[in-house]
Structure 1
Amino acid sequence: MHKPKDIFIEGAIPPAMIADSIAKHQTKTEIGAHSIFLGQVRKDVINEQQVAAIEYTTYKDMALEKMHEIREEIFAKYPLTCMHIYHSLGIVNAGEICLFVFTSSAHRKEAIDACEEVVNRIKAELPVWGKEIFENESYQWKQNK
């Protein structure tokens, strides 16, 4: 039984961190497939206002316990070599990455199926909320703070 891992990162997930994570797996030669999901903040228009960013909040202890439960169930269901999950907290601007799920296994089907299930369960079960920040003065104030 693994202990809960902290999946949260303050702000956007840096592309260099994603690249580094992929590079580190080149030494694990028993892996034949990786599946990666990257969630990106969209610049949606809601009620004629354009989204500039999303501010993510959570009940961290509760979310980490739930993520631990999901993680254990996914490892029990699929023959994975490893699974990495990172979710942003705080403000993430439109176009930036807010969710990174990376699953690895000997074969592609298991890696893909596990990755898809993890993403779906995060969206459905994890107590993480996103509040849109629209392009206006208050957003500029927060951005420059």
Structure 2
Amino acid sequence: MEKEHKHKKVFVQGPISPDFVAKSIAGHQSKTEIGAHAIFLGQIRADKKADGIVTGIEYSAYEDMAEKAFQEIREAAFARFELICMHIYHSLGVVPTGEISLFVFVSSPHRRAAFEASEYIVEEIKANVPIFGKELVGEGGEYVWKENN
């Protein structure tokens, strides 16, 4: 029988704080079957654009559709990799440059599965979750739709 994985809310308002990341890590010390964690932190870059420097990104999403897509990614990752635990958090609203907007945290008995699952999850999020970012550019604070690379 396949294990049912608890649906967890993904979205948080604003940046994901280093304190939140640290508490997430600390919360797993009692899970002694874990041998490896892989953590991906997506940080906002101060890219140079024609109109100035990016000072932040404002994220929006079709939340119900996005939560469903996140759940599908979670289930696919649990089916594909030997994982014990997985957490995904993504920002909504404004996230200034230098701050974290995506936090993916996977735990496994072995490092290879943790590394591979982390990369898989991040790539699936970029390709399949309806999240949109408008870059705040220049001193005038003009918003420009972000293009994913």
The TM-score normalised by the length of structure 2 is 0.90
Instruction: Answer yes or no: is the 8 Å Cα contact 2:43–2:101 preserved in 1.
Output: yes
Q: How does 1:57-96 map to 2 (within 5 A)?
A: 57-96=60-99
1:143 is aligned to none
2:10 is aligned to 7
Question: Which SS does the other structure have where 2:89 is aligned?
Answer: strand
Structure 1 residues 18-74: Cα deviation after superposition (integer angstroms, max 9, x where no partner) = 000000111000000000000000000111411010000000000000111111011
Q: How does 1:114-129 map to 2 (within 5 A)?
A: 114-129=117-132
Offset at residue 2 of structure 1 (A): 3.6
Q: Percent identity?
A: 53
Corresponding pairs, count: 139
**Alpha-carbon distance in structure 2 between the residues aligned to 1:43 and 1:78:** 34
Q: CA RMSD in A?
A: 1.2
Question: Which SS does the other structure have where 1:80 is aligned?
Answer: coil
**Alpha-carbon distance in structure 1 between the residues aligned to 2:35 and 2:19:** 23
Instruction: Answer yes or no: is the 8 Å Cα contact 1:4–1:64 preserved in 2.
Output: no
Question: Which SS does the other structure have where 1:133 is aligned?
Answer: strand
> Are positions 1:136 and 2:139 aligned together?
yes
Q: 1:107 aligns with which of 95, 107, 110?
A: 110
- Gaps of at least 5 residues in structure 1 are 140-145
Whichever structure has more helix as a proportion of its residues is 1
Question: Which SS does the other structure have where 2:84 is aligned?
Answer: strand
**Alpha-carbon distance in structure 2 between the residues aligned to 1:138 and 1:33:** 42
Structure 1 residues 68-118: Cα deviation after superposition (integer angstroms, max 9, x where no partner) = 111101101111000000000000000000000000000000011000100
**Alpha-carbon distance in structure 1 between the residues aligned to 2:139 and 2:54:** 10
Question: Which SS does the other structure have where 1:69 is aligned?
Answer: helix
**Alpha-carbon distance in structure 2 between the residues aligned to 1:138 and 1:40:** 19
2:54 is aligned to 51
**Alpha-carbon distance in structure 2 between the residues aligned to 1:4 and 1:51:** 34
Instruction: Answer yes or no: is the 8 Å Cα contact 2:51–2:137 preserved in 1.
Output: no
The TM-score normalised by the length of structure 1 is 0.92
Offset at residue 138 of structure 1 (A): 4.0
2:145 is aligned to none
Question: Which SS does the other structure have where 2:7 is aligned?
Answer: coil
